[in-house]
């Protein structure tokens, strides 16, 4: 499709204006994290910091065990991503390429999970975790996050589009089902896994209520939980909150910058339909 | 479809997941369902069986609860307005990014537009409250420039819900954009070229090629967003707390509040109704979307 | 029997068993407190604390550890948003700590779960605490835990604006309004007075009922529709009706509007002094002051809140847990705790310590505490509080009258019940 130069200019202007609207608030929050607290609260607000300072970050480091919380968040999010990738692809493969009784009912049941308000599940889930002796452990924080209907759905869609001949050929060669799965299917799933990985990471990284309830000592607090201690009804430390938000967003941003090519490819090829 | 040598093999792949699913989700879900037929309160957590069954009383109360009914109406309005808005914005952004602009700028814009979707609500709330602040807020300052006195967006019953809708659409359209972008790249160029030869204009090409080709992903976004939007809660929680006078109270937020004051049985009943409605709507959308 | 009937019979049977297994027991007898050993203690004590207190308590407890060799106090801080859910979940899962800080209106609800230990009389002396504060842990005659620190509500105002307008801070309800009017007309506080009408608004309304001579509970039932209660609600509503208080304040807009001078006064607790000093910047300290609540027809009774410390029945280290709680209630420790996080002592004699006698603003709080009450710690209180907030919002926005609000609150309060 050929476009004239003029059309491109219009597109660019429109996109840029949209971008300003979309990331304006972030830009402001990001810049604000380098302002002293009195300037953050100033009215009218300033855009660029008049006095640049790293004081907010320093204070944050001093008041909250940010390093530890950051590591905890990483551990939890990565474990949940890994679990979802494995489970999602295994179950997706099962639903997409293998035949067994009750398959459709089970699949529908799993998807229906997306419609349940999480708050209702929290109490029974916690009792379960407690009965299993996993309160205040990483395992307790991670386990329920391993079950993600969206992951199963995405992987199933993707794997369903892979040619059956691949699997047939492997069977003819005498490969077992697990060998087929790990050696043939999984490597082909990379784009879909990038998509799923990113989505899962996001969810796990921002999750607040569940880790807050299961972690009973500060050593296990994830970033949102640790930052929440600073949040009061009145007299919230805005300066610390903006600095905290920047720390929370940064890794996600970096991840997305690197993965976005695979991410889009993954969605394109998982043939959502 | 491949028939495994033994049909049991499919189960082997699914079983570990399914076991955990039953334990961590189905079980708690059924517990919640059971809870909704009792007068279970937060004071009963240590002695779960020490509650009285109350039949469908909680469900009857739902229909009589002014706040709940209001929440249901708000949620409906929210979904009906926000859904087309998000999909429209997502589609517009995707088409613009796919119109042949350079790869690097496209990646840059894509990242920018997707940013709100991946950010936690707390950071977003701080920024938006400043934007919508009645006197010092950017929005009203800009309106002042053209001689309009802007309302107190979040404190006025007429503008609070629309403000929340705008914010949610702003936050959510990036996801739809990415999905559409992916799908757009899969549309064969030949279709457009052939249409161009036939003398079809840009608008015509959009409506006769792009939209029909995107139908499956539009359906996906519709269903996925509906499921999400029907459960919207974070945005009003941090922006308005459901007020003023419940004008931004959503069903999920109402459930959350009931849970917060310890009415677990009642909250369970409300959640069960919400769940049923979501599933019914999703199935309906899929039916309609596929039958055409 | 065919299969269908057999199945439904089995189903019915299961239901019957379930129904028989369920059901509330007839009301339990009041619990008796058991004494604790008062000798040497050792081992680990796990403590949960909320917000600022949670951040500070860990270091603060070092003194207790050195006074009691062999004891290790492990403090876990948690956010206010999640504290209630976290504690109820912990009770549900039998995963409670030894000691926890709780909100001052939670004791009724949490004690009803059966997870809290009644306060041992041999260690804790009820008379040492402010009576209003003790009410927060006293559930129908049995105490669960102790008040840790208190807060009470007083009248904040802009000193500079009052001087400019040439008025003295109010002592009565009538003066309250003329004061605000003067600030509005001559002091520059164009919006008047900040009176809450959303979250937490009930804490500003209930004292007005007390000040009118009313009670919100009598003989175990709610009394929100008495003439006194209506008088209180009228006073509350009149500030909005007469445009002396704005009803369009953005969420989070307070206390910025006070610092900017848009409003010239508000009712709140001691923490606001710290917030104002911090947010107002240098010199703001001299621009505001506090006085006790303006008196209503009968009294100037204020609201007392704060937090309590409770010990759980499943505590691993019961003796040390109570000893720690007792230590935190010692006057000297309470005074030191005040200097650490500015939390006001719940123990009366702590107010004689030098740390507390120096500050004139603090004296106002000390005075007000002598006439301050708390709502009854009923398990359903939080639920009722939400109801009140809803009705007060309607009142503030002019959608109902004080009489209608009184009636609506009473009707819903009756429906909700005390939950005991």
For chain B, the structural domain boundaries read: 70-261
Q: Does A264 reach chain B within 8 Å, measured CB to CB?
A: yes
> What SS3 state is found at B47?
coil
Contact between residue A225 and residue C79 where contact means Cβ atoms under 8 Å apart: yes
Reported as a single tens digit per residue, the pLDDT across B136-159 is 777 888 888 888 888 888 888 899
Least confident range of C89-103, C266-280, C392-406: C266-280
pTM for the model stands at: 0.86
Percent of chain B at pLDDT exceeding 90: 24
CB proximity list for B74: less than 8 A, separation 6 or greater: B161, B246, B247, B248, B249, B250
Residue A101 predicted with pLDDT over 90: no
The pLDDT assigned to C11 comes to 45
Cα C202 to its chain centre, rounded Å, is: 11
Buried b (16+ CB within 10 A) or exposed e, C51-84: bbbbbbbbebbeebeeebeebebbbbbbbbbbbb
Span A99-104, mean pLDDT? Answer: 82
Reported as a single tens digit per residue, the pLDDT across B196-227 is 888 888 888 888 888 888 888 888 889 889 98
Contact between residue B110 and residue A15 where contact means Cβ atoms under 8 Å apart: no
Cβ pair C271:A212 closer than 8 A: no
Cβ pair B241:C393 closer than 8 A: no
Length of chain A: 273
Span B64-78, mean pLDDT? Answer: 93
DSSP string covering C25-88: PSPPPPPPPPP---S---EEEEEEEEHHHHHHHHHHTHHHHHHSTTEEEEEEEE-HHHHHHHHH
The pLDDT assigned to A236 comes to 58
Span C131-135, mean pLDDT? Answer: 91
Residue C256 predicted with pLDDT over 90: no
Residue A62 predicted with pLDDT over 60: yes
The domain over range C43-152+304-373 is classified in CATH as 3.40.190.10: yes
Reported as a single tens digit per residue, the pLDDT across A194-230 is 888 888 998 899 888 899 889 988 899 998 888 888 7
The pLDDT assigned to A1 comes to 46
Q: What is the DSSP letter of A4?
A: -
**C403 vs C388: CA distance, rounded Å:** 14
Residue C27 predicted with pLDDT over 80: no
Closest Cα in chain A to C273: A235
The pLDDT assigned to A43 comes to 61
Confidence grade of residue C275 (pLDDT, cut at 50, 70, 90): confident
- Would you call the peptide bond into C234 cis, given omega within 30 degrees of 0 as the criterion? no
Beta bridge mates, C75:
C47
- Would you call the peptide bond into C32 cis, given omega within 30 degrees of 0 as the criterion? no
Residue C288 predicted with pLDDT over 70: yes
Residue C113 predicted with pLDDT over 50: yes
Least confident range of B68-82, C28-42, C345-359: C28-42
Q: Does B253 reach chain A within 8 Å, measured CB to CB?
A: no
Residue C18 predicted with pLDDT over 50: no
Residue C1 predicted with pLDDT over 90: no
Within 13 Å of residue B224, how many CA atoms lie on the same side as its CB? 19
> What SS3 state is found at C385?
helix
Contact between residue C134 and residue C407 where contact means Cβ atoms under 8 Å apart: no
- This complex has an ipTM of 0.81
Residue A234 to chain C, least CA–CA distance (Å): 8
Residue C12 predicted with pLDDT over 50: no
Residue C207 predicted with pLDDT over 60: yes
**A89 vs A182: CA distance, rounded Å:** 10
Residue A263 predicted with pLDDT over 80: no
Q: For an interface test with A, give the residue of C87, C89, C96, C253 to mutate (most A CBs within 10 A).
A: C89
Residue C101 predicted with pLDDT over 60: yes
The pLDDT assigned to A44 comes to 65
Span C334-338, mean pLDDT? Answer: 94
Q: For an interface test with A, give the residue of B5, B8, B19, B21 to mutate (most A CBs within 10 A).
A: B21
The pLDDT assigned to A79 comes to 96
Residue with tokens 């995405």, as numbered in its chain: A154
The pLDDT assigned to C402 comes to 94
**What ranges make up the beta strands (E) of chain B?**
none
Pick the CATH number of A57-269 from 1.20.120.1200, 1.10.3720.10, 3.50.50.60, 3.10.20.30: 1.10.3720.10
- Would you call the peptide bond into B152 cis, given omega within 30 degrees of 0 as the criterion? no
Nearest residue to A31 via CA among A245, A225, A226: A245
Buried b (16+ CB within 10 A) or exposed e, C325-350: bbbbbebebbbbbbeebebbbbbbeb
Residue A216 to chain C, least CA–CA distance (Å): 7
Supply the CATH classification number for the domain B70-261. Answer: 1.10.3720.10
Confidence grade of residue C16 (pLDDT, cut at 50, 70, 90): very low
Residue C115 predicted with pLDDT over 50: yes
Span C182-195, mean pLDDT? Answer: 93
CB proximity list for C332: less than 8 A, separation 6 or greater: C350, C353
Q: Does A29 reach chain B within 8 Å, measured CB to CB?
A: yes
Least confident range of A12-21, A70-79, C109-118: A12-21
**C73 vs C33: CA distance, rounded Å:** 24
Chain C residues contacting A via beta carbons under 8 Å: 46, 48, 51-52, 54-55, 74, 76-82, 85-86, 88-90, 92-95, 97, 199-200, 252, 254-256, 260, 268, 271-272, 274-275, 278-279, 281
The pLDDT assigned to C96 comes to 94
C312 versus B233: the higher-pLDDT residue is C312
C147 versus A230: the higher-pLDDT residue is C147
**B63 vs C245: CA distance, rounded Å:** 35
The pLDDT assigned to A260 comes to 76
CB proximity list for A79: less than 8 A, separation 6 or greater: A138, A142
Cβ pair B257:C379 closer than 8 A: no
Reported as a single tens digit per residue, the pLDDT across C31-76 is 877 888 777 888 999 999 998 888 889 999 999 999 999 999 999 9
Residue B91 predicted with pLDDT over 90: yes
As a whole number, the mean pLDDT across chain C is 88
Span C154-179, mean pLDDT? Answer: 95
The domain over range C154-302+377-416 is classified in CATH as 3.40.50.360: no
C180 versus A110: the higher-pLDDT residue is C180
The pLDDT assigned to A272 comes to 53
Residue C20 to chain B, least CA–CA distance (Å): 10
In CATH terms, are C43-152+304-373 and C154-302+377-416 the same topology? Answer: yes
């Amino acid at each position: 499709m050929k476009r004239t130069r003029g059309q491109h200019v219009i597109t660019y202007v429109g996109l840029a204006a949209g971008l300003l609207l979309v990331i304006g608030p972030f830009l402001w929050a990001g810049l604000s994290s380098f302002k002293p607290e009195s300037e953050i609260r100033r009215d009218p607000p300033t855009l660029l910091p008049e006095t640049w300072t790293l004081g907010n970050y320093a204070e944050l480091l001093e008041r909250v065990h940010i390093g530890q919380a950051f590591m905890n968040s990483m551990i939890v999010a990565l474990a949940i991503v890994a679990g979802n990738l494995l489970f999602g692809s295994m179950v997706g493969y099962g639903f997409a390429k293998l035949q067994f009784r009750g398959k459709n009912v089970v699949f529908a049941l799993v998807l229906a999970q997306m419609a349940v308000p999480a708050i209702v599940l929290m109490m029974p889930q916690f009792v379960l975790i407690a009965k299993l002796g996993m309160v205040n452990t990483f395992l307790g924080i991670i386990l329920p996050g391993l079950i993600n209907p969206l992951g199963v759905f995405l992987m199933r869609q993707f794997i369903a589009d892979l040619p059956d001949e691949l699997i047939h050929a492997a069977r003819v060669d005498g490969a077992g089902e697990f060998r087929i799965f790990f050696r043939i299917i999984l490597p082909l799933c990379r784009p879909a896994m990038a998509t799923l990985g990113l989505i899962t990471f996001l969810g796990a990284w921002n999750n607040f209520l569940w880790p807050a309830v299961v972690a009973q000592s500060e050593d296990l607090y994830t970033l949102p939980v640790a930052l929440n201690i600073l949040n009061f009804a009145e007299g919230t430390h805005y300066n610390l909150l903006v600095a905290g938000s920047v720390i929370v967003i940064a890794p996600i941003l970096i991840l997305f910058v690197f993965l976005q090519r695979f991410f889009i490819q993954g969605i394109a090829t998982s043939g959502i339909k | 479809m491949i028939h495994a040598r033994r049909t049991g093999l499919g189960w082997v792949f699914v079983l570990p997941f399914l076991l955990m699913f039953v334990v961590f989700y189905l079980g708690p879900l059924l517990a919640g369902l059971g809870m909704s037929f009792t007068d279970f309160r937060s004071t009963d957590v240590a002695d779960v069986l020490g509650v009285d069954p109350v039949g469908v009383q909680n469900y009857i109360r739902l229909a009589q609860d002014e706040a709940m009914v209001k929440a249901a109406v708000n949620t409906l309005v929210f979904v009906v307005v926000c859904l087309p808005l998000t999909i429209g914005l997502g589609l517009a952004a995707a088409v613009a990014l796919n119109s042949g602009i350079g790869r690097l700028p496209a990646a840059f814009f894509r990242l920018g537009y997707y940013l709100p979707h991946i950010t936690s609500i707390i950071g977003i709330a701080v920024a938006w409250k400043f934007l919508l602040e009645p006197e010092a807020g950017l929005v009203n300052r800009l309106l002042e420039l053209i001689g309009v006195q802007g309302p107190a967006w979040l404190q006025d019953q007429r503008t609070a819900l629309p403000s929340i809708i705008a914010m949610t659409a702003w936050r959510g359209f990036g996801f739809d954009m990415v999905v559409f972008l992916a799908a757009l790249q899969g549309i064969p160029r030949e279709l457009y070229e052939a249409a161009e030869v036939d003398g079809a204009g840009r608008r015509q090409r959009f409506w006769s090629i792009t939209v029909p080709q995107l139908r499956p992903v539009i359906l996906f976004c519709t269903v996925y967003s509906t499921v999400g939007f029907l459960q919207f809660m974070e945005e009003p929680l941090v922006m308005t707390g459901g007020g003023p006078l419940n004008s931004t109270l959503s069903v999920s937020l109402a459930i959350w509040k009931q849970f917060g004051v310890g009415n677990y049985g009642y909250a369970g009943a409300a959640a069960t109704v919400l769940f049923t409605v979501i599933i019914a709507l999703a199935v309906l959308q899929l039916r309609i979307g596929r039958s055409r | 029997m065919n299969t269908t009937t057999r199945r439904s019979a089995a189903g019915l049977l299961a239901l019957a068993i379930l129904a028989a297994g369920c059901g509330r027991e007839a009301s339990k007898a009041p619990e008796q407190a058991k004494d604790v050993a008062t000798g040497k203690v050792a081992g680990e004590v796990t403590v949960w604390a909320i917000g600022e207190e949670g951040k500070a308590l860990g270091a603060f407890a070092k003194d207790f550890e050195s006074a009691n060799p062999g004891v290790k106090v492990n403090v876990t801080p948690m956010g206010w948003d999640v504290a209630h859910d976290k504690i109820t979940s912990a009770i549900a899962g039998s995963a409670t700590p030894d000691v926890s800080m709780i909100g001052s209106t939670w004791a009724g609800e949490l004690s009803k779960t059966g997870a809290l230990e009644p306060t041992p009389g041999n260690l804790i002396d009820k008379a040492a605490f402010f009576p209003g504060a003790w009410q927060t842990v006293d559930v129908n005659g049995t105490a669960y835990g102790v008040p840790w620190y208190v807060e009470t509500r007083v009248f904040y105002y802009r000193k500079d604006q009052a001087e400019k307008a040439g008025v003295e801070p109010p002592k009565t309800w009538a003066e309250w309004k003329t004061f605000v009017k003067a600030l509005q007309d001559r002091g520059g506080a164009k919006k008047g007075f900040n009176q809450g009408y959303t979250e937490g608004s009930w804490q500003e309304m209930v004292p007005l009922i007390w000040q009118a001579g009313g009670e919100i509970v009598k003989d175990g039932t709610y009394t929100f529709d008495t003439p006194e209660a209506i008088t209180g609600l009228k006073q509350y509503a009149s500030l909005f009706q007469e445009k002396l208080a704005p009803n369009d304040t953005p969420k989070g807009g307070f206390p910025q509007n006070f610092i900017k001078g848009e409003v010239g006064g508000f009712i709140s607790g001691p923490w606001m002094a710290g917030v104002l000093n911090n947010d107002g910047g240098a010199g703001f300290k001299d621009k505001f002051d506090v006085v006790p609540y303006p008196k209503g027809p009968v009294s100037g009774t204020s609201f007392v809140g704060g937090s309590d410390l409770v010990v759980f029945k499943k505590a691993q280290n019961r003796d040390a847990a109570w000893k720690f709680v007792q230590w935190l209630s010692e006057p000297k420790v309470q005074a030191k705790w005040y200097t650490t996080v500015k939390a006001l002592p719940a123990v009366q004699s702590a107010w004689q310590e030098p740390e507390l006698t120096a500050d004139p603003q603090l004296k106002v709080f000390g005075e007000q505490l002598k006439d301050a009450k708390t709502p009854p710690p009923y398990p359903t209180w939080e639920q009722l509080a939400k109801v009140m907030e809803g009705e007060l919002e309607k009142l503030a926005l002019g959608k109902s009258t004080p009489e209608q609000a009184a009636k609506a609150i009473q009707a819903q309060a009756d429906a909700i019940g005390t939950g005991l």
